[in-house]
Structure 1
Amino acid sequence: MGNPAEQHAPEALKTEIATTKPTDTEVALATEDTVETAESPAASFRASTRPADAAADAAGSAAGWPWDELGLGQRFPIEQVTPSIEGGRFPAKAVVGERVPVSAVSYREGHAMMGCNVVLIGPDGQEGPFARMRPGAPGTDRWFGEVRPDAVGRWTFAVEAFSDPYLTWHDAVSKKIAAGQGLEDLANDLAEGSALLHEAAKGVPEQERDRVTGAALALADAGIPLFARVSPALGLTDVLWRHPLRQHVTRSEPLPIWCDRQRALFSAWYEFFPRSEGAVVDERGKPVTHGTFRTAVPRLRQVADMGFDVVYLPPIHPIGRVNRKGPNNTLVAGPEDVGSPWAIGAAEGGHDAIHPDLGTLDDFRAFVDAGREAGVEIALDLALQCAPDHPWVTEHPEWFTTRADGTVAYAENPPKKYQDIYPLNFDNDPEGIRAEILRVVLHWVAQGVKIFRVDNPHTKPVGFWHWLIDEVKAVDPDVLFLAEAFTKPAMMHGLGKIGFSQSYTYFTWRVQAWELREYVQELIAAADYMRPNFWPNTPDILPEHLQHGGPPMFKIRAVLASLLSPSWGMYAGYELFEHVARAGSEEYLDNEKYQLRPRDWIGKEHDGESLAPYLRRLNAVRKANPALHWLRDTVFHGIDSEQLLCFSKRDPDSDNTVLVVVSLDSHNVQWGNTTLDMPALGFDWHERFTVQDEITGATFDWGQHNAVRLDPLYEPAHVFTVHRHR
């Protein structure tokens, strides 16, 4: 009858395999019906003598398998590696601590098992720890992993494919036992497995090495039943998944990643004109007193108190007097009119000078220091254009375009005309222009400015920006650039690829639920190279929904901007519900671009006429919840009303989850029923959990299906943190 243990071994081992095999390796082990292959585990093990250390892996070929030398190429194909920006021409983007997903297609001949891992190489040339990749859906041969840079600088990564003799042995022995083969049939497999595990033990950490060595000894012990001999070896999938014995290691070409500081991805911006802070105007709106850097410091602290961490200043340079614009973009300015800050340059200087009415360079440095003390960074506008009386116009006339009548061409965006602005012509003396602009940028970097909002970068050569950003980061890798480019998608994506740290987006005009879902998913798909910054308004843009949606719409758009995107921003006056536009346009009436606009910030908040407390709360929620610091973790959930949007973000490191339901209707009560993607929230489909509204403090018991009622006159959004039942 034989040994009873051996009689029941096949079924018992099948149970053992099912309980010890990691879920993540099941796909890798699930193959078609096995046929005999030329590469048995032992033959492969003996043939390959290539060590598994990184230096040997990089050498290019294994002993006995000189593939490259024989002109046969790599041992295993590695294809479609991502992230790869234009074939590696430009680096993918990451910030310190960000999980960057990596994928590749790799496959091999026959039915032997293989594995893949990703290697991350730091700016110092040192390789990071072993990071194994998971197999994707059966039949796709796609592998998935991630890397996590932990310092600013240029990193590279590569994917490695390798033969996995343990998984090959595991698969073969499991199937043979399940088919009823006994000790006599498995004699070679047991011997080969023992030798394989002795070798594998050399690469296993000391605290787990005895387990692997013990399994090798059990395989060689002829005095115990088959079940007892084989079970320990079959139970090593967890250890040898993390620390595999790798053979015929093949490495892909390295691809670059540029890692920025975290503010490149997670930031809250606020734009204000320092000349309006502390200013005094008469009953006609004409300036009596011009604001300065010193008078703007109190506003700087108020903005920091609202939770914003970047304060963006429009151009702070001298403003041209020739063709200066008056209020509301009128063509004739009076002697007291302040003009547009984007008409840069006058007798007092150009892009490296400060408007004398704002103060001195020392005053500006004190303003930057005050921001730092309050917890905010100062971002400057980089607008590469000139007023007609900018010093460059006379010193370098070749940097501009001359029309047929001999006049210099001013900027136009028909039907708009900007007679007070001369664009630069980058095709005339490009080396001279490049050198001067680099000098200007580094001048402001030396004053403590590490963030630039770039005005209309899509109107300058893309190659110039690639060069400039690389040159500046070579001097100071912490410098960030925001592209203000509301233009064609290809150009916006192109600017992201060549190095811009962040980009304005079309968010301002995405108002329907389906539009927002589709657009955010599009941005997630481009997250390897383009980081969005959502702005509900700018000095140039007062969208129609803010003109007519009332105060609830200001809440709605702030919730969407601040919680859908890790970076968001707003222009001053948003918190005071400023919504009056010039007739037939998306531009503010009495636009601050052309005149001083002092406001009673504290008085309005005291009287309950300000959104500042709500914005303060939103920014506090953002900072307190790591899930809101990332873009790729956004998941949209089902809800049966197109007037409601439901989405979540989850950070696996902290087990922090935020779930948002927001109404898009600022006038009417909206009802909806959710169908939540429970695994995306970290739960099984049947589980229930507690949600706490971080705006109102209310708590609810929720599951997959929940009824929601949102009244815009009360609160148009639920901003929930998700908590497990205790």
Structure 2
Amino acid sequence: MWTIRDPLAGPDRRTYPALMRFSYGVRVADTQAAEGGRPATTRSRSTGTRAPAGRRPARKTEPWKPVLGRIPILDLSPQQPDDLWPAKAFAGEVVPFSATVFKEGHDVIDAAVVLTAPSGRVLRRPMVQVNPGLGRWTASVQVDETGAWTWRVDAWLDDWGTWLHDAGIKIPAGIDVELMFEEGARLLERAAEEEGRGDDAPALLRDSAAALRDVGTDPGTRWSVVTQGRVADALAAAPISSLLTAGPSRTLRVERLRAGSGSWYEFFPRSEGAVRHEDGSWTSGTFRSAALRLPAIAEMGFDVVYIPPVNPIGRTNRKGPNNTLTAGPNDPGSPYGIGSEDGGHDAIHPDLGTEEDFLAFVEAAKRLKLEIALDIALQASPDHPWVVSHPEFFTTLADGSIAYAENPPKKYQDIYPLNFDNDPEGSYAEMRRIFQVWIDRGVRIFRIDNPHTKPLGFWERLIHDVNAAHPDVIFLAEAFTRPPMMRGLAKVGFQQSYTYYTWRNTKEELTEYLVELSQETADYMRPNFFVNTHDILTPYLQFGGTAAYKIRAAIAATSVPTWGVYSGYELVENVARPGSEENIDNEKYEYRPRDWARAAMLGTTLAPYIARLNGIRRHHPALGQLRNIHFHWTESDQVIAYSKHLDAEFTGTGSADTIIVVANLDPNGARETVVHLDPTAFGRLPDDVFTVRDLVSGAVWQWGADDYVRLDPFGEPVHILTVEDDPDQ
């Protein structure tokens, strides 16, 4: 006979006849234990005493505590879906706070969001009901302090609003007229006793109560006493209310501006100033020569300069040009094969210079108002010092060898991936030390290579640990992988995320993806729209020519607050390695100096266009927001249109800001269509006519709800329009 045992009950056996009557076809004993025929017993986990089977000891339970207040306040936003970590925002972001607020019956209710800034300053903003049927209330607030904000939604019964609603129906219909006037009078008398209504309010309210009770005056006159003039104004400013209910508190983590908005430029310091000699050998560029490139990057309007790893590169299995398996004596190797006899992740490649040279490079960038973002790749070459000093950091195979990095059928023989499970505490301590070394050297932004190949819990711990000591440090997740992992990395703390933008090219794809990023994941995931990388050159760019490069840059720069380009984009480098989505002669495996001066002289560079895009971004605060994108209908599948609007109260200029983007997605042919705008999306009436100016070409037109456009890829394939005669200006 078989007995089902409770694995949590220790040596005490339990039978479960109600849950499982048969096991392997043999009936389970109903009331007798398998051994000795004794009555089955259970053990109370709280006391250790035994009770006869079928009679469970009484369990102590906590007193029931209600969750809801008098008025339900549910479905709060912003918050992360699991509410395990705070929602995120950045300084200057306009955040929509919303909640579902409702009450039984037909009473009028009202709501407000109450925020407490890190400094202790309390903000209270009225909310508006945007969907009465669903009880959805919202208010937009611009957060201006970094740190942890707390917020809640307050709701209350609007007694005066409820009376006005009911009386406005009954009194004209002659139903309960005197009763309704008496109810109103009592509300006014109650309000007269409330503090904080001003010196003249009590007398005014009592006089109005008396007027409502004056049966010698016709009902219409008495009604006008409280619906017009001073009484109506006083009660609109401070309604008579009751049942004040405070909703649950939530936290919003507000980080510095660059965590959510900025323009990035990637380049390889070793290529800037690199010289090839007649014998085929190279002299590497250095931090000193790379610093000479910084002024041109600043002139293009970028905020962040991102550089690949600058550590020593191993020689064992070093990759050659175009990812070949054999490197020649003059091949520098991939900067992601980190570690050699010259050191590991805390060391600087001697070809690039010294620590003092790196510090000078960071300082040169700072003088130009640029920040340096450093690539950190937590992996090692076979020559890394960790292979000897910390073999437990790696995975050892059955034959005794260390496992290479693989993405079958691909193998990366120059890289050993780390195993964070062999020695979790030891590996964490070493990784934390590495980040601190570079923080101490002045780096405040890290681009993390392949974070999705490391445990999510590791990143949660490390990012929160680093940010607790250095709140200004920013982590960018370079993860092109499954959505759950990409979202998970953002949830646990990564301030920015690479995205699928490089592969979203059609109107439908772009619209769907931008709606997702600006609405579904906006509370925790901040997209960085890199148009290309040193590893990615999509077919759209390979075959679209200059127009494709303009289109992709314009959309990236105007649709999200953070975007970036990899060096060479301005030169329209579009020759791919056969059978791949990457540039031929990939800079990851070789030096690639560029003749910037010659391109400028010949006018073959897009640097002026990129500078124009970044200039538009800086002068139009609407483009610095993520959540405010609104798509408009066009009659062509090849033309996309969207607007970004920011109300005057949030721009800092006293005027509203509206940008309308219309882009031809076909880089090979002109497209014409009618754009059907919804002017209410940017604060105008449906039939308004307004002036728009193209910020690229300078052309000016009169636009309205329906507008003809023709976009030629051999001219300007994208309209970036500002609404000039804004009603708030």
TM-score (norm 2): 0.86
Greater shift after overlay, 289-298 or 173-182?
A: 173-182
* Cα distance in 1, alignment partners of residues 318 and 139 from structure 2: 56
Give the 5 Å matches for 1:309-324.
309-324=303-318
Query: Are residue 82 (structure 1) and residue 77 (structure 2) matched?
Result: yes
- Deviation per CA, 1:463-507: give whole Å up to 9, x if none: 111111111111111111111000001111111111111111111
Decide whether aligned partners of structure 1 residues 234 and 371 sit closer, same or farther in structure 2, where only a CA change above 3 A counts. same
% identical aligned pairs: 50
* Cα distance in 1, alignment partners of residues 313 and 236 from structure 2: 65
Greater shift after overlay, 110-119 or 257-266?
A: 110-119
CA deviation after TM superposition for structure 1 residue 535, in Å? 1.2
- Of the candidates 125, 137, 140, which is equivalent to residue 131 of structure 1? 125
* Cα distance in 2, alignment partners of residues 190 and 394 from structure 1: 85
- Of the candidates 190, 195, 201, which is equivalent to residue 189 of structure 2? 195
Give the 5 Å matches for 1:608-627.
608-627=603-622
Decide whether aligned partners of structure 1 residues 301 and 508 sit closer, same or farther in structure 2, where only a CA change above 3 A counts. same
Query: Are residue 706 (structure 1) and residue 707 (structure 2) matched?
Result: yes
2:357 equivalent in structure 1? 363
2:33 equivalent in structure 1? none
* Cα distance in 1, alignment partners of residues 515 and 67 from structure 2: 41
Decide whether aligned partners of structure 1 residues 347 and 510 sit closer, same or farther in structure 2, where only a CA change above 3 A counts. same
* Cα distance in 1, alignment partners of residues 484 and 593 from structure 2: 39
* Cα distance in 2, alignment partners of residues 71 and 699 from structure 1: 61
CA deviation after TM superposition for structure 1 residue 707, in Å? 0.8
Query: Are residue 177 (structure 1) and residue 171 (structure 2) matched?
Result: yes
Query: Are residue 108 (structure 1) and residue 109 (structure 2) matched?
Result: no
Residues 310, 378 of structure 1: 8 Å contact kept: yes
CA deviation after TM superposition for structure 1 residue 110, in Å? 2.8
Residues 97, 149 of structure 1: 8 Å contact kept: yes
* Cα distance in 1, alignment partners of residues 75 and 256 from structure 2: 28
CA deviation after TM superposition for structure 1 residue 173, in Å? 2.5
2:687 equivalent in structure 1? 686
* Cα distance in 2, alignment partners of residues 141 and 174 from structure 1: 23
Write the letter of the residue equivalent to 2:204. Answer: G
Find the residue that maps to 1:616 and give its secondary structure: helix
Residues 557, 563 of structure 2: 8 Å contact kept: yes
1:386 equivalent in structure 2? 380
* Cα distance in 2, alignment partners of residues 237 and 375 from structure 1: 53
Decide whether aligned partners of structure 1 residues 706 and 287 sit closer, same or farther in structure 2, where only a CA change above 3 A counts. farther
Give the 5 Å matches for 1:420-431.
420-431=414-425
Residues 386, 421 of structure 1: 8 Å contact kept: yes
CA deviation after TM superposition for structure 1 residue 571, in Å? 0.3
1:565 equivalent in structure 2? 560
Find the residue that maps to 1:542 and give its secondary structure: coil
Query: Are residue 472 (structure 1) and residue 466 (structure 2) matched?
Result: yes
Write the letter of the residue equivalent to 2:157. Answer: S
TM-score (norm 1): 0.86
Residues 556, 662 of structure 1: 8 Å contact kept: yes
2:366 equivalent in structure 1? 372
Decide whether aligned partners of structure 1 residues 238 and 710 sit closer, same or farther in structure 2, where only a CA change above 3 A counts. farther
- Deviation per CA, 1:2-38: give whole Å up to 9, x if none: xxxxxxxxxxxxxxxxxxxxxxxxxxxxxxxxxxxxx
Write the letter of the residue equivalent to 1:652. Answer: D
1:22 equivalent in structure 2? none
Query: Are residue 247 (structure 1) and residue 242 (structure 2) matched?
Result: yes
CA deviation after TM superposition for structure 1 residue 72, in Å? 8.8
- Deviation per CA, 1:231-285: give whole Å up to 9, x if none: 353356676555444422222221221101111121100000001111112468x
* Cα distance in 1, alignment partners of residues 406 and 463 from structure 2: 27
Residues 215, 233 of structure 1: 8 Å contact kept: no
- Deviation per CA, 1:540-589: give whole Å up to 9, x if none: 00101111111111111111111111110010000001011111111111
Residues 119, 127 of structure 1: 8 Å contact kept: no
* Cα distance in 2, alignment partners of residues 646 and 393 from structure 1: 54
Write the letter of the residue equivalent to 2:685. Answer: D
Give the 5 Å matches for 1:170-319.
170-180=164-174, 184-199=178-193, 202-204=195-197, 210=200, 214-221=204-211, 227=220, 229-235=222-228, 240=235, 243-282=238-277, 286-319=280-313
Residues 118, 146 of structure 1: 8 Å contact kept: no
Decide whether aligned partners of structure 1 residues 216 and 95 sit closer, same or farther in structure 2, where only a CA change above 3 A counts. farther
Find the residue that maps to 2:270 and give its secondary structure: helix
Find the residue that maps to 1:129 and give its secondary structure: strand
- Of the candidates 466, 488, 496, which is equivalent to residue 482 of structure 2? 488
2:634 equivalent in structure 1? 639
* Cα distance in 2, alignment partners of residues 241 and 392 from structure 1: 70
Write the letter of the residue equivalent to 2:351. Answer: D
Taking only aligned residues, the RMSD between alpha carbons, in angstroms, comes to: 2.1
- Of the candidates 433, 440, 445, which is equivalent to residue 439 of structure 2? 445
Find the residue that maps to 2:435 and give its secondary structure: helix
Give the 5 Å matches for 1:318-337.
318-337=312-331
* Cα distance in 2, alignment partners of residues 210 and 512 from structure 1: 64
Residues 216, 233 of structure 1: 8 Å contact kept: no
Query: Are residue 99 (structure 1) and residue 94 (structure 2) matched?
Result: yes
Decide whether aligned partners of structure 1 residues 199 and 335 sit closer, same or farther in structure 2, where only a CA change above 3 A counts. farther
Give the 5 Å matches for 1:537-576.
537-576=532-571
- Deviation per CA, 1:648-702: give whole Å up to 9, x if none: 1011134110111111111111111111011012211111011101111110111
Write the letter of the residue equivalent to 2:487. Answer: H
Write the letter of the residue equivalent to 1:217. Answer: D
Give the 5 Å matches for 1:40-55.
none
* Cα distance in 2, alignment partners of residues 112 and 135 from structure 1: 14
* Cα distance in 1, alignment partners of residues 137 and 661 from structure 2: 32
Residues 120, 157 of structure 1: 8 Å contact kept: yes
Query: Are residue 649 (structure 1) and residue 639 (structure 2) matched?
Result: no
Greater shift after overlay, 409-418 or 242-251?
A: 242-251
Find the residue that maps to 1:680 and give its secondary structure: helix
- Deviation per CA, 1:176-231: give whole Å up to 9, x if none: 3222358744442243122233245x345x5xx74686344323246776555543
Write the letter of the residue equivalent to 2:300. Answer: M
Query: Are residue 593 (structure 1) and residue 588 (structure 2) matched?
Result: yes
Residues 170, 177 of structure 2: 8 Å contact kept: no
Find the residue that maps to 2:724 and give its secondary structure: strand
1:65 equivalent in structure 2? none
1:50 equivalent in structure 2? none
Write the letter of the residue equivalent to 2:484. Answer: A
Greater shift after overlay, 449-458 or 127-136?
A: 127-136
* Cα distance in 2, alignment partners of residues 230 and 199 from structure 1: 22
- Deviation per CA, 1:288-343: give whole Å up to 9, x if none: 22111111112111101100100000001111122111111111112221111111
Write the letter of the residue equivalent to 2:161. Answer: L
Query: Are residue 455 (structure 1) and residue 449 (structure 2) matched?
Result: yes
Decide whether aligned partners of structure 1 residues 409 and 71 sit closer, same or farther in structure 2, where only a CA change above 3 A counts. closer
Write the letter of the residue equivalent to 1:611. Answer: L
> Whose relative contact order is higher, 1 or 2, with alpha carbons under 8 Å and at least 6 apart?
1
1:141 equivalent in structure 2? 135
Residues 197, 213 of structure 1: 8 Å contact kept: no
Greater shift after overlay, 353-362 or 131-140?
A: 131-140
2:720 equivalent in structure 1? 719
CA deviation after TM superposition for structure 1 residue 536, in Å? 1.4
Residues 171, 177 of structure 2: 8 Å contact kept: no
Unaligned runs of 5+ in 1: 1-67
Aligned length: 653
CA deviation after TM superposition for structure 1 residue 457, in Å? 0.8
Residues 420, 455 of structure 2: 8 Å contact kept: yes
* Cα distance in 2, alignment partners of residues 70 and 551 from structure 1: 65
Decide whether aligned partners of structure 1 residues 514 and 73 sit closer, same or farther in structure 2, where only a CA change above 3 A counts. closer
CA deviation after TM superposition for structure 1 residue 378, in Å? 0.4
* Cα distance in 2, alignment partners of residues 565 and 718 from structure 1: 17
CA deviation after TM superposition for structure 1 residue 123, in Å? 2.6
- Deviation per CA, 1:65-88: give whole Å up to 9, x if none: xxx999695222222222221442
